[in-house]
Chain A
Amino acid sequence: MAGGQTNRLNNGGLIDRSAPLNFRFDGKSFSGFEGDTLASALVANGVKLVGRSFKYHRPRGILTAGSEEPNALVELRTGARREPNTKATTAELYEGLEAASQNRWPSLRFDVMSVNQLFSPIFVAGFYYKTFMWPAKFWEAIYEPAIRRAAGLGRAAGVADPDHYDKAWAHCDVLIAGSGPAGLAAALAAGRSGARVILCEEDFAFGGRLLSDGGTIDGLPAAEWLSRALAELAAMPDVRILTRTTLFGVYDGGTYGALERVNDHMPSPPEHQVRQRMWRIVAKRYVVAAGALERPIVFAGNDTPGVMMASAMRTYVGRYAAVPAKRIALFTNNEDGWRTVETALGAGLQIAAVIDARPDVSPSHRSLASRNGFTVLHGSVSGVDGGKDGVRKIAVSLTGGARAEVEADGLAVSGGWNPAVGLTSYHRGRPKWRDDIAAFVPDGAPPGMVAAGAANGDFGLGACLAKGFAAGVAAAHGAGHSGKAGTAPVANDEAFSLTPLWHVAGKGKAFVDYQHDVTASDIELAQREGFESVEHLKRYTTLGMATDQGKTSNVAGLAIMAAVTGKSIPETGTTIYRPPYVPVAIGAFAGHHRDETFHATRLTPSHHWAAEQGAVFVDTGLWKRAQWYPRAGEKDWLESVTREVKAVRSGVGFCDVSTLGKIDVHGLDAGAFLDRVYINTFSNLAVGKARYGLMLREDGIVYDDGTTSRLAEDHYFLTTTTAKAGLVMQHLEFCRQVLFPELDVQLTSVSDQWAQFSIAGPKTRDLLKEIVDPAEDLSNEGFPFMGAREVALRGGIKARLFRISFSGEMAFEISVPARYGEAMARNLMLAGEPFGVTPYGTEALGVMRIEKGHVAGPELNGTTTAADLGLGKMTSTKKDFIGRVMAGREALVAPDRQVVVGVKPTDRARRLRSGAHIIPKGQTPGPGNDQGYVTSVCFSPTSDQWIGLALVERGRERIGEIVHAHDPIRAEDYDVELCNPVFYDPDGGRQRG
């Protein structure tokens, strides 16, 4: 036995004995070899106990050798990379690997919670529903935390994952899942036919069962054939083969999800590399060659460590040269199980007995038994004597009623094979039952998908190769490729005979779903309580709902249900299959999109300049906007914002407003088009003028607003709010293409073409005179309010100047091509220096628009009409426009609608909060007298108190009324006065001056 590995064979296997690897399990040091999984290395070290079960904390060992494993789930790695519920059977061994068993305290061998077993009669199906019903408030406070401590499947790392994940698209003609004999034959056929092929293999090695079972193909040993096939595929430029990649989902239109575990086999990903990569694969044809899963037989004690699937035992011995047991008993109901006997004997292991549930076994097996000195018992295993140290004795019920005992330290079990029908069933395909193999096979797969080989119920090696090859040829042909595929590889089929056996009645817990601790008696109980439908059975018992999705348990569970209800298995049916086939980390779905890069961001043209000024940025949609520009000595945001507002009101300031959506509207019918999308008229707007416009939805509610200028007869420049920019573009394209296709209109987004700044304050013109060419007339006569035209700037560039104001001050907006945006900000600072120019952010912008009573997002809230906003007079009665008719509906013109008014607290020192409800003064707040709410608030430096806008029932008729503001969230109650929403310069003299 090699390197302290007590259960490692000296020869054979696909491990590299020249590459030893050290690892730790539950703090204890072990060694294994390159090519091991954690499970095979534990087997090689004689470790049988690897975990405690979910509900009863029963000792558990390794059951399988693949991704279907329900028992051997560990916490892999430590610290931030600790990952719970990792299957030891698929985790590749690497130097320094650290793993810990789950669900035990204080240790795996001595687990306090295993007392749950003593109370197991009460932990039956539906236990939680039945027991913790009363009193209701105990659930959150007491029951749930206690249950969560007792149950559970490992611990999350609790800190951010330090690794990178990745997403990528791939395209092919033929996608193949599985590189067993069927998958490889399909890949060879499709590749030779000229198709672009992607072959995904879940394992880190190609070959599927060939790696464990060997065989002879085209007269060559399987390993030799395998390496030739892989070499041929590798030489085909349009064949991509991916290892460590699981096809986990099937989506519409030939799109598939696959997870590549790029660096899960490393202690941590090498620098610049990703941990895992999510593939979205678009394929014209798909061959499912995902093989079949051997299924357990349900009998008392079938979860004792040392009880293992027969094929898994073959894999450990054959592929990994690791010995799960030295004296092995086999319990089988089929011919295939006997291959484990052959493998074990070939490795020099002892066979204790074969318990075969079939009426008879072949003469050759009898002679094998007698040559090797073991008995063949006809009957079933009815119990296992053993514990955390493994199997000791096996109780057998012989056909005819007698009992026998077999001494063994391992029990291999084979209940037959279930084709992997998940991938073919994700589109509601219902697998169909085949009596000859007593298993479900794929049916109703989506168009373009076909299963081949064991995945389709053809278990023989020869059949796998032939059917896989034929499927590859057909798939390539279907995708338009019909090059010479040559002939299919040839091999013999192994004998197959099976007598269905699902459950051996007996005393003691007989597990169906190992991961969720669902027993045969739970299923019988569910039936007695009326949960007969498989979907109810699943939810009541949680059968198949663990992370393994019932790969080893579902069919046995419904077979037992069929037996107790007296129905056939196909009548009982399967549950709906849903992706993913294996658990997929959220990190892989997120890929690059986490933390700062959670979504794409947009930066304004002056962003980096603002950052240099120390601006505080705020996320508004995708944008980062300067919120305010703190100065040294300012104690909080309010002080900075107040300074900015005062500076604008008394001097001049500027703000980057490039985030507004900007759209070029061209065409001979551009004016007519705008007349139909705005409530007011634009066809009569003079060239060189701007106008504020309001758009409705077709149901009469306000959609968006903004200023639109006419730059030429057939050219308007339309602006939208920042939030709606993309949606308004989509809406306008809908109007152009679907509603009014007869109009000559062209739309282009120019949002990113222009850097736009608002310059506001009484000294705006002084600043502009510095920077605008002296030949330009900026006087009130030369450039009146709502004027819009191109001007020359000093230093030789052109700008567009708009005399519009959001702040209520004398203001202009100036646009320059975006790459001048940063220079514009610097030049505005330079030009404004003599006037104390102050850059201001979105907070000051917001304060000034509230002071001015301008509505914005909080008022354009998807429930307000133009009249609600005080903009009803804009509505044209001389033309049709989107939303015109519905805006006239009774409820939208009702006199008691909530409309925009101003609010100010009667106590001048009080702070307002948006969201507070408006209640008539003196009444007790309740839904019956809720008359609206406060939409926007700010501290107004101009009024020297908090002010706000509110939507209040009949608000405009109630100016001067004192009402009550009720804020249950913040437990505040106070009085406010309803007032004119225009707090600042109500006659508009300043902006027109």
Chain B
Amino acid sequence: MAEFSWDVRSPLDRALAVGRYGARGDAGVTLTEIRNFDLVQVMARRGKAAEMAKAAKARFGSAAPKTPQAVQGSDATLIWSGPDQFFVLSKGGKHAIGALGQAFAQSASLSDQSHARVLISVSGVKARAMLAKLSSIDLHSGVFAVGAAAATSMDHTSVTLWRGNDLADGLAVFNVLVFATFAESLWHTMLDSAAEYGLAIAHSEQLA
């Protein structure tokens, strides 16, 4: 009988070439694909938004975001994805869909999105200039502060965008969750958009 191996392959596995791309010199944009994460969509049952919030607080130690924000809970990031719904982004299975069922049993519906999305982290001095080619959202520091989130579109593709904590050098980090089957297409658009600034490309298992 044949031996079956079930290796996971990121949708960007072929397209992502670690290293430099585009203009030479200091890379203006850093693109990092974050791989192997758990992502669960949590949507409140009708009339149960308050209970869902309570359950989230109990589980993650922080209230689920009620406005477009990404908040840091214990071992998980809670990202607003629409009215009375949010994503739980985590690593290692602790907050995977199977583990969360009990906590939200009375208050919310859960849907596994771990394989449905690709997570791309964008940083660098030209990150905003590059994202301005893809996103109609105003990413000015005073408008889109650390922790701001948006359910929006990039290149006609639905994405969830949020600003993570700044890097040690003060530069902003933008996280983009894009549907997996669109990911390679958006990735090429990102490369095209950032080529003039020079890119550093990597992938990582670490959530930012």
The finding on whether chains A and B are genuine partners in a shared complex, rather than unrelated, reads: yes
Contact surface of A with B, Cβ cutoff 8 Å:
164, 166-171, 196, 271-274, 280, 282, 591-592, 597, 599-605, 608, 622-623, 658, 664, 666-669, 714-715, 742-746, 748-754, 770-771, 793-797, 817-823, 827, 830-831, 833
CA distance A623 to B85 in the complex (A): 29
Contact-residue bracket for chain B: 35 or more
Q: Does the CB pair B46–A744 fall under 8 Å?
A: yes
Q: Tell me whether A823 and B7 are in contact (CB under 8 A).
A: yes
- How far is A748 from B113 in the complex, measured between Cα atoms in Å? 9
Known contacts A272-B196, A592-B193, A823-B6; decide if A752 and B156 are in contact (CB<8 Å): no
CA–CA, A408 and B2, complex, Å = 97
| CB of B95 closer than 8 Å to a CB of A | no
Chain B positions 183 through 205: 1 when the CB is less than 8 Å from some CB of chain A, otherwise 0 = 01110110011011010000000
Identify which of A167, A169, A754, A771 contacts B4 (C-beta below 8 A): A771
For B36, the closest partner residue in chain A by CB is A819
Complex Cα distance, B4 from A821, in Å, reads: 13
Contact between B196 and A273, CB atoms less than 8 A apart: yes
- Assuming the contacts A169-B135, A599-B156, A830-B4, asked whether A164 and B11 have C-beta atoms less than 8 A apart, the reply is no
B11 in complex: contacting residue of A592, A750, A796, A819, CB < 8 Å: A819
* Candidate in B11, B110, B186 with the most chain A CB atoms within 10 angstroms: B11
A622 to chain B, nearest CB (A): 8
Cβ contact within 8 Å between B184 and A743: no
B84 to A: closest C-beta gap in Å: 9
Known A-B contacts A274-B196, A599-B156, A667-B109; the reply to A169 vs B132 at CB < 8 A is yes
Q: Given the complex, which residues of B lie within 8 Å of A744, measured CB to CB?
A: 45-47
Complex: how many Å from CA A830 to CA B1? Answer: 10
Known: A753-B113, A770-B2. A602 touches B196 (CB 8 A): no
In contact, B41 and A166 (Cβ under 8 angstroms): no
Q: How far is the CA of A818 from the CA of B9 in the complex (A)?
A: 9
| Complex interface residues of chain B between 98 and 114 (CB less than 8 A to chain A) | 108-114
For A665, the closest partner residue in chain B by CB is B109
B115 touches A166 (CB 8 A): no
Instruction: Flag if B2 contacts A830 (CB, 8 Å).
Output: yes
Judging by beta carbons under 8 Å apart, are A794 and B4 in contact?
A: yes
Q: Are B11 and A603 closer than 8 Å at their CB atoms?
A: yes
Q: In the docked arrangement, what's the CA distance between A247 and B182, Å? A: 33
Excluding A600-B157, A748-B109, A753-B112, 15 further A-B contacts by CB distance (< 8 Å) are A164-B192, A169-B136, A600-B155, A602-B181, A664-B111, A744-B45, A746-B45, A748-B113, A753-B114, A753-B115, A754-B115, A818-B11, A819-B9, A820-B115, A823-B4
A66 to B12 CA separation, bound complex (whole angstroms): 48
Query: Which A residues touch B117, using CB under 8 A?
Result: 752
Chain B residues with CB below 8 A from A793, complex form: 4, 6
Q: In whole Å, how far is A656's beta carbon from the nearest beta carbon of chain B?
A: 11
Q: Which residues of B contact A818 (CB under 8 A)?
A: 11, 115-116, 180-181
Instruction: Output the nearest chain A residue to B3 by Cβ-Cβ distance.
Output: A795
Assess the A600–B156 pair: CB atoms within 8 A: yes
10 interchain residue pairs of minimum CB distance: A666-B109, A753-B116, A171-B138, A752-B116, A748-B111, A744-B46, A795-B4, A817-B115, A818-B115, A602-B181
Shortest distance from the beta carbon of A744 to any chain B beta carbon, whole Å: 4
B133 A666 Cβ-Cβ under 8 A: no
Most buried by B among A603, A750, A751, A817: A603
> Does residue B10 face the partner (Cβ distance < 8 Å to A)?
yes
The answer on a CB contact under 8 Å between A795 and B115 is no
Nearest residue (CB) in B for A821 is B9
A767 to chain B, nearest CB (A): 11
Residues of A within 8 A of B113 (CB): 748, 750, 753
Inside 8 A of A280's CB, which chain B residues have their CB? 136
**What residues on A are CB-neighbors of B6 within 8 Å?**
793, 795-797, 820, 823, 827
Tell yes or no: B8 within 8 A of A by CB: yes
CB distance from A245 to the nearest CB of B (A): 15
Q: Is B22 an interface residue (CB 8 A)?
A: yes
27 pairs, CB–CB < 8 Å, chain A vs chain B: A168-B129, A282-B136, A597-B188, A602-B182, A603-B181, A603-B184, A608-B14, A664-B109, A667-B109, A743-B46, A746-B44, A748-B43, A748-B113, A749-B116, A752-B115, A753-B111, A753-B116, A793-B6, A794-B1, A817-B115, A819-B8, A819-B9, A819-B11, A821-B9, A827-B4, A831-B4, A833-B2
Main secondary structure of the interface of B (DSSP, over half): loop
Roughly how many angstroms separate A822 CA and B140 CA in the complex, as a whole number? 40
Of B140, B143, B180, B189, which contacts A597 at CB under 8 A? B189
Say yes or no: is B179 at the interface (Cβ < 8 Å to chain A): yes
Given the contacts A271-B23, A274-B196, A819 and B3 also touching, CB distance less than 8 Å: no
Q: How far is the CA of A51 from the CA of B140 in the complex (A)?
A: 47
Shortest distance between the CB of B118 and any CB in chain A (Å): 9
In whole angstroms, how far apart are the Cα atoms of A170 and B186 in the complex? 20
**Complex CA–CA separation, A837 to B200 (angstroms):** 42
B43 touches A746 (CB 8 A): yes
User: Is A819 a contact of B10 with CB atoms below 8 Å?
Assistant: yes
Residues in B with CB closer than 8 Å to A664 are 109, 111
Question: Distance in Å from the Cβ of A968 to the closest Cβ of chain B?
Answer: 38
Interface contact B181-A167, CB-CB below 8 Å: no
The one of A751, A771, A794 in contact with B181, judged by C-beta atoms closer than 8 angstroms, is A751
Would B189 and A592 count as touching, CB distance under 8 A?
yes
A754 and B14 alpha carbons, distance in the complex (Å): 19
A142 to chain B, nearest CB (A): 45
Question: Closest residue to B43 on the A side, CB-wise?
Answer: A746
Enumerate chain B residues within 8 angstroms of A171, measured Cβ to Cβ.
138, 140, 143
Given A751-B181, A818-B180, A282 contacting B138 (CB threshold 8 A): yes
CB proximity of A65 to chain B, nearest CB, Å: 31
Residues of B within 8 A of A743 (CB): 46
Closest-CB distance, B24 to chain A (whole angstroms) = 9
Cα A272 to Cα B113 with chains together (Å): 35
- Given A748-B111, A819-B8: A196 and B140 interface contact (C-beta under 8 Å): yes
The chain A residue with its CB closest to the CB of B194 is: A272
**Interfacial chain B residues near A669, Cβ < 8 Å:** 46
B46 contacts across to A, CB distance below 8 A: 667, 669, 742-745
Residues of A within 8 A of B23 (CB): 271-273
Choose among B10, B85, B182 the residue that contacts A600 (Cβ–Cβ < 8 A): B182
The complex places the Cα of A827 from the Cα of B9 at a distance, in Å, of 14
Give the residues in chain A near B22, CB-CB below 8 Å: 272
Taking CB atoms, residues of chain B closer than 8 Å to A196 are 140
**Complex formed: what's the CA distance from A746 to B46 in Å?**
8
Alpha-carbon distance A169/B181, docked complex (angstroms): 25
Among residues of B, the one whose C-beta sits closest to the C-beta of A659 is B181
| Alpha-carbon gap, A599 to B137, bound state (A) | 21
Q: What distance in Å separates the Cβ of B83 from its nearest Cβ neighbour in chain A? A: 10
Identify the closest chain A residue to B46 (Cβ): A744
- Given A666-B43, A743-B46, A817 contacting B114 (CB threshold 8 A): yes
Residues from chain A with a CB closer than 8 A to the CB of B41 are 748
> In the bound complex, what is the Cα–Cα distance between A754 and B113 (angstroms)?
9
Residue of A nearest to B83 (CB): A737
Using Cβ atoms and an 8 Å threshold, which residues of chain B touch A622? Answer: 182
Q: Which of B35-54 contact A (CB under 8 A)?
A: 41, 43-47
A272 touches B195 (CB 8 A): yes
Complex Cα–Cα for A819 and B33 (A)? 14
The CA of A667 and the CA of B106, in the complex, are separated in Å by: 11
| Given A169-B136, A752-B117, A668 and B45 contact (CB-CB distance below 8 Å) | yes
Tell me the complex Cα distance, A800–B52, Å: 28
Distance in Å from the Cβ of B36 to the closest Cβ of chain A?
9
Could you tell me if A667 and B45 are in contact, using CB atoms closer than 8 angstroms? yes
Q: Which of A600, A795, A817 is the one whose CB lies under 8 Å from B185?
A: A600
A239 to B191, CA, bound (A): 27
Q: How distant is A362 from chain B, measured CB to nearest CB, in Å?
A: 52
